[in-house]
Amino acid sequence: MLVYANIVKFVKNSINMSLVIRKGKKEDMPAVLGLIKELATFEREPAAVVVTVDDLVRDGFASNPLFQTFIAVYDDEIVGMALFYNRYSTWKGKTIHLEDLIVKENKRQLGIGKALYDEVLKYALNEKVRRVEWVVLDWNTPAIDFYKKSGASILKGWETVQMTEENLINYINSVSNEDI
């Protein structure tokens, strides 16, 4: 059985440099926020990020953390991360949702993303989850191709549904007004 309390994994990449994959720490959260913002820019939503370092520290390192991270360190620099959390499926039971996996643009094609992906999937297997799931934008064909090659299924016919904070407030207010 794998233990992840303080695991550090050393990987050799294609140019023979050391890559360290490890669990995230509080002090990593400024770099994690930077990666989140880089991902938002890549996904054409640069203004959408409202989460703060304080949010990440509070939510990821409380007594009952809402998420976990694996961090990729390359040449003593945090260059990538995978952020994931537990979910529960009425069909499958215990599952994990991979919220984001990002590698700095200038460090892509070095195997860093695959190393992070592999670590999340090994963690899931170790935790005996029955499914790992995530979403991918339909125009991100390199990611889609990678996921398919790894054996993941891209589900057709399922649409992502979200309720923004503003829409949530408007909806609840409208429902509350109906009850008067």
DSSP symbols for 23-74: E--GGGHHHHHHHHHHHHHHTT-TT-----HHHHHHHHHSSS-S-EEEEEEE
Spell out a b/e string for 66-84, using b for 16 or more CB atoms within 10 Å of the CB, else e: ebbbbbbbbeeebbbbbbb
74, 85, 117, 147: which is the annotated catalytic residue? 147
Residue 147 a catalytic site member: yes
Which residues are catalytically annotated?
A: 147
